[in-house]
């Protein structure tokens, strides 16, 4: 049962990776990587059930959180070319830091 | 008896979930446009993931494992639409527009200036 589900999830991962490599724009790749992370959460849980070690679900829970934060961070980086603060506020903030 | 029913429920959930996962992945490859590929990713993130998690919940029974699975399901349910919306918003801001134009063949309106 879990073997069949793992096979379906593996096929899905391979197909999503094709889109991640092909993707004409960077947003296609980000979308593919986001879906790949969701499917990775599933396969970690399924491998935990296959090997009868459900502690793997903790890793899956952590991976779900990191996947979301990573997607948002990548999008923010490609939009503003900086992670700390937006580019409009960048000059003012650096001036403020210099004044301090 | 109850074990058999739970096994059948798990099989149905895994089969439906695997179907939605593979259909979404094929959609992400075959669809022509970024905006239509969002639909494939949405199918993977909602229907496929939640059904596979539901099948695992049937096998786990009423234990701590089920609570972890429910937590994972809640996080995926909340964060994947947010992530998809963020990707779509960033692509829209970057200037990517859907393919094709709106056709007004029936009304025969004169074509306006392109925006």
B/e letters for A14-47, b = 16+ CB within 10 Å, e = fewer, are ebbeebbeebeeebbbbbbbbbbbbbbbbbbbbb
CB contact under 8 A, A34 and B84: yes
Q: Does any domain span residue B112?
A: no
The pLDDT value given to residue B101: 67
Distance of CA A38 to the CA centre of its chain: 8
The pLDDT value given to residue B114: 47
Q: Is the pLDDT of residue B96 over 70?
A: yes
| Residues of chain A with C-beta less than 8 angstroms from the C-beta of B52 | 5, 9, 42, 45-46
Comparing CA positions, the residue from A90, A96, A36 lying closest to residue B24 is A36
Containing structural domain, residue B11 = 2-93
**Distance between CA B5 and CA A72 in Å, rounded?**
41
Q: Is the pLDDT of residue A91 over 90?
A: no
The pLDDT value given to residue A87: 52
For B16-54, the pLDDT digits (tens) are 999 999 999 999 998 888 888 888 888 898 888 999 999
Q: Does any domain span residue B115?
A: no
Per-residue HEC secondary structure of chain A comes to CHHHHHHHHHHHHHHHHHHHHHCCCHHHHHHHHHHHHHHHHHHHHHHHHHCCCCCHHHHHHHHHHHHHHHHHHHHHHHHHCCCCCCCHHHHHHHHHHHHC
CB count within 10 Å of CB A68 equals 21
Q: Does any domain span residue B88?
A: yes
How distant is the Cα of A92 from the closest Cα of chain B, in angstroms? 23
Number of domains in chain B: 1
Q: Does any domain span residue B110?
A: no
Under the banding of pLDDT at 50, 70 and 90, the label for residue B104 is low
Containing structural domain, residue A63 = 2-99
B positions 29-58 inside 8 Å of A (CB): 29, 34, 37-38, 40-41, 44-45, 48-49, 52-53, 55-56
Comparing CA positions, the residue from B66, B99, B95, B22 lying closest to residue A35 is B22
Q: Does any domain span residue B106?
A: no
Q: Is the pLDDT of residue A86 over 60?
A: no
Comparing CA positions, the residue from B44, B64, B56, B49 lying closest to residue B9 is B56
Q: Does any domain span residue B21?
A: yes
Q: Is the pLDDT of residue B110 over 60?
A: no
Q: Does any domain span residue B24?
A: yes
The pLDDT value given to residue A77: 86
**Distance between CA B97 and CA A75 in Å, rounded?**
18
Closest Cβ–Cβ partner in A5, A25, A34 for B52:
A5
| Residues of chain A with C-beta less than 8 angstroms from the C-beta of B18 | 4-5, 8-9, 12
| Residues of chain B with C-beta less than 8 angstroms from the C-beta of A59 | none
Under the banding of pLDDT at 50, 70 and 90, the label for residue A100 is very low
Q: Does any domain span residue B104?
A: no
Question: For residues B16 and B24, is the Cβ–Cβ distance under 8 A?
Answer: no
Number of domains in chain A: 1
CB contact under 8 A, B65 and A54: yes
């Amino acid at each position: 049962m879990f073997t069949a589900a793992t096979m379906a999830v593996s096929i899905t991962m391979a197909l999503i990776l094709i889109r991640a490599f092909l993707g004409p724009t960077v947003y296609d790749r980000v979308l593919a990587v986001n879906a790949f992370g969701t499917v990775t959460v599933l396969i970690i849980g399924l491998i935990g059930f296959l090997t009868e070690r459900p502690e793997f679900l903790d890793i899956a829970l952590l991976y779900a959180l990191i996947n979301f934060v990573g997607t948002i961070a990548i999008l923010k980086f490609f939009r503003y070319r900086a992670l700390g603060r937006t580019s409009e506020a960048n000059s003012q903030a650096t001036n403020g830091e210099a004044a301090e | 008896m109850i074990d058999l029913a739970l096994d059948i429920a798990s099989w149905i959930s895994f089969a439906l979930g695997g179907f939605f996962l593979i259909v979404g992945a094929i959609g992400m490859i075959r669809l022509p446009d970024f905006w239509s590929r969002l639909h494939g990713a949405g199918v993977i993130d909602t229907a496929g993931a939640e059904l596979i998690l539901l099948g695992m919940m049937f096998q786990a029974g009423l234990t701590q494992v089920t609570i972890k699975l429910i937590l994972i399901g809640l996080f995926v349910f909340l964060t994947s639409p947010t992530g998809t919306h963020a990707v779509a918003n960033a692509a829209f801001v970057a200037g990517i527009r859907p393919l094709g134009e709106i056709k007004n063949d029936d009304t025969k309106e004169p074509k306006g200036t392109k925006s």
